[in-house]
């Protein structure tokens, strides 16, 4: 039998309906693959094989009756930021200890209601704070890709990007058909770019945030990481939707994104912002960008130079807004109501001991930054000013939409890097998000598509940014890039 784990989500869906294999067989194939790979890649922090097989059995019963739901029997991974009923959810932090929610995140519930099978919880940077998945309490995730130098494979372990590094690594290594992820400043798109997968961050409000462990509430948004553009379109359609439990979730119909994929881009206006040509961007990233421009032009799109003048302020403004909201959201972890508790001599001592033991270095760093910018005397100077800059960034895009339909940029300034190469320099790590944070600051949709390989044979991605709630156009343009670049499967399963 064909290796079922190498199928795309769309291929697996069609194979199940055609009865070429069962949901149980498909799920068992992924469980076996996870057992072999996870000790080496650390993509899953918790596997749920019994739960998955029970869901697969139900799917087989429905398939036999001709009552298949849209995602019937399709095994996916679930980022550990999504609460799962009765199943440990920690946001990859010690402070949540053995927390088992008594509720299901709306995005997850939407997927299970559509028939998807959950294989387990995926690793992420602690509370989604990071760009390399090195800050997880469960240890770092290893990118399934490896560099080639001088014609020889370099065994240096590479990061898979972050915070959704477990999601991107699992999809890239064929340990699930697709995965849930979240994006606060690039945490879907950046890891997708570093692992040769497709990741879309939808418009703020398109997917419910209810049941997702909060990092920065005005920036966080759920989305999928998948093997192909079509797969990501299928997943997003069933993740999105109105949720009255989330006041920021927009009540509007969710289109059939899969139908958009094949529509092409003839007549589409593509903007190329001059401000994204930043100092330090490698020549191969710039060359990839030029390729993307040529591919879209050859497919019938028109190319337009545009200006987004406040882009240079996006990263510093983001690293004021996000830590400020992080500081507020993480104040709830006090060792009293749930999670880790380290007893102290009094209440304040208990708070301090619990947070000292429970939070990692990067989380502490961001809490301290956030508390500082919100403190008396600094709120107006920092936080309020950053929010004004955020408005200007959004206004730049609003002005651009009169001339273009989508914007094309690189996703990351460089390919995947090795463990520890940037972890000791927070500024270098924060610069990983230089091309992605504007999308979150403006609340826009953005997608990363694999577009080429670096000189060392590792993936690089291109990013498309769209108008609010116009994810369909992003899928159209992304499919053109995927068609031109081809897919980049992992060269070998070195962990086997």
Q: pLDDT at position 490, please?
A: 87
Asked whether the predicted pLDDT for residue 426 surpasses 80, the reply is no
Residue pair 167/433 in contact (Cβ under 8 Å)? The answer is: no
Max alpha carbon distance in the chain (Å)? 70
- In this predicted structure, the answer to whether residue 78 has a pLDDT above a threshold of 90 is yes
Kindly state whether residue 132 falls inside one of the protein's structural domains. Answer: yes
Reply yes or no on whether the pLDDT at 280 is more than 80.
no
Dist. CA 224–CA 222, nearest whole Å: 7
Q: One of 132, 172, 187, 327 is an active-site residue; which one?
A: 187
Query: How far does CA 381 lie from the centroid of its chain?
Result: 32
As a whole number, mean pLDDT of residues 3-13 equals 97
Average pLDDT score, the chain: 95
Task: Determine, yes or no, domain membership for 341.
Answer: no
C-alpha 464 chain-centroid distance: 15
Instruction: With CA atoms as reference, report the closest residue to 13 among 140, 177, 154.
Output: 177
Q: pLDDT tens for residues 113-130?
A: 999 999 999 999 999 999
pTM of the model: 0.96
Has 163 been annotated as catalytic? yes
Average confidence (pLDDT) over 264-268: 97
Asked, for residue 290, whether it belongs to a domain, the answer is no
Burial class from Cβ neighbours inside 10 Å (0-12, 13-18, 19+) for residue 1 reads exposed
Element (H, E) at 79: strand 75-79
In a domain, 229, yes or no: yes
* Residue 321: Cβ within 10 Å count: 25
| Residue 246 in domain | yes
pLDDT tier, 432 (very low <50, low <70, confident <90, very high otherwise): confident
3-class state of residue 231 by DSSP: helix
Q: What pLDDT is stored for residue 448 in this prediction? A: 98
How far is it, in rounded angstroms, from Cα 312 to Cα 392? 11
Does the active-site annotation cover 6? no
Residue labelled with tokens 């690189």: 410
Residue 208 within any structural domain of the chain: yes
Kindly name the residue from 79, 201, 227, 467 that is annotated as catalytic: 79
Tell me which residue range forms the domain holding 189. Answer: 4-268
389 in a structural domain: no
Question: What does the pLDDT read at residue 343?
Answer: 93
d(CA 250, CA 247): 8
Cα separation, 255 vs 473, whole angstroms: 11
Calculate mean pLDDT across residues 41-45. Answer: 98
Tell me if residue 132 is catalytic: no
Amino acid 1: pLDDT: 59
pLDDT tens for each residue of 81-97: 999 999 999 999 999 99
- DSSP codes of every residue in 361-418: HHHHHHHHHHHHHHSTTTIIIIIIHHHHHHHHHHHHHHHHTTT-SEEEEES-SSS--B
Residues 139, 494, 285, 227, CA torsion sign: negative
Asked if residue 183 belongs to a domain, the reply is yes
Among residues 22, 93, 132, 163, the one annotated as catalytic is 163
How many domains is the chain built from? 1
Lowest-pLDDT range, 141-145, 188-192, 360-364, 487-491? 487-491
Phi, psi angles (nearest 5°) of residue 114: -85, 0
Q: 188 Cβ partners below 8 Å, 6+ apart?
A: 164, 167, 181, 182, 199, 200, 201, 223, 224, 225, 448
Q: Tell me if 489 sits within 8 A of 276, measured CB to CB.
A: no
- Reported as type and span, the H/E element at residue 58 is helix 49-65
CATH number at residue 105: 3.90.1300.10
Question: For 147-186, how does the pLDDT look when each residue is reduced to its tens digit (9 = 90+)?
Answer: 998 889 999 999 999 999 999 999 999 999 999 999 999 9
């Amino acid at each position: 039998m064909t290796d079922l784990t190498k199928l795309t989500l769309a291929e697996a869906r069609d194979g199940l309906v055609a009865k070429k294999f069962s949901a149980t067989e498909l799920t068992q194939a992924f469980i076996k693959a996870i057992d072999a790979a996870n000790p080496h890649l650390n993509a899953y922090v918790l596997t749920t094989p019994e739960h998955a097989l029970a869901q697969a059995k139900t799917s087989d019963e429905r398939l036999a009756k001709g009552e298949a739901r849209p995602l019937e029997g399709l095994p996916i991974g679930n980022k550990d930021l999504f609460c799962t009923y009765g199943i440990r959810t920690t946001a990859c932090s010690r402070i949540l200890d053995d927390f088992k929610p008594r509720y299901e995140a709306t995005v997850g519930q939407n997927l299970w209601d559509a028939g998807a099978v959950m294989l387990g919880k995926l690793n992420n940077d602690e509370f989604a704070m990071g760009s390399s998945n090195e800050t997880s309490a469960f240890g770092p995730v290893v990118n399934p890709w490896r560099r080639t130098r001088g014609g020889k494979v370099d065994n240096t372990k590479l990061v898979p990007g972050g915070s959704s590094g477990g999601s991107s690594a699992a999809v890239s290594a064929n340990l699930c058909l697709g995965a849930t992820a979240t994006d606060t400043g690039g945490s879907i798109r950046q890891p997708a770019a570093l692992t040769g997968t497709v990741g879309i961050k939808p418009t703020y409000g398109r997917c419910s945030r209810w049941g997702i462990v909060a990092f920065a509430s005005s920036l966080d948004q759920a989305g999928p990481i998948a093997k192909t553009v079509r797969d990501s379109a299928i997943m997003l359609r069933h993740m999105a939707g109105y949720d009255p439990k989330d006041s920021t979730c927009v009540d509007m119909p969710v289109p059939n994104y899969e139908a958009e994929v094949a529509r092409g881009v003839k007549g589409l206006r593509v903007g190329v912002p001059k401000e994204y040509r930043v100092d330090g961007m490698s020549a191969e990233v710039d060359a990839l960008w030029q390729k993307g421009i040529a591919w879209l032009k050859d497919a019938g799109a028109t190319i337009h130079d545009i200006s987004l003048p406040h882009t240079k302020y996006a990263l510093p403004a983001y690293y004021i807004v996000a830590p400020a909201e992080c500081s507020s959201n993480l104040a709830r972890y006090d060792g009293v109501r749930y999670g880790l508790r380290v007893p102290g001599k009094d209440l304040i001592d208990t708070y301090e001991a619990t947070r000292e033991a429970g939070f990692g270095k990067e989380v502490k760093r961001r809490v301290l930054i956030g508390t500082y910018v919100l403190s008396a005397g600094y709120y107006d100077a920092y936080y309020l000013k950053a929010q004004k800059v955020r408005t200007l960034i959004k206004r730049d895009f609003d002005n651009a939409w009169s001339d273009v339909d989508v914007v094309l940029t690189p996703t990351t300034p460089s390919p995947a890097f090795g463990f520890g190469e940037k972890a000791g320099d927070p500024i270098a790590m924060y610069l990983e998000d230089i091309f992605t944070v504007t999308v979150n600051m403006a609340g826009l949709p953005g997608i990363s598509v694999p577009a080429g390989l670096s000189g060392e044979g590792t993936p690089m991605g291109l990013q498309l940014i769209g108008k609010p709630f116009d994810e369909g156009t992003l899928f159209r343009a992304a499919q053109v890039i995927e068609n031109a670049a081809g897919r980049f499967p992992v060269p070998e399963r070195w962990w086997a």
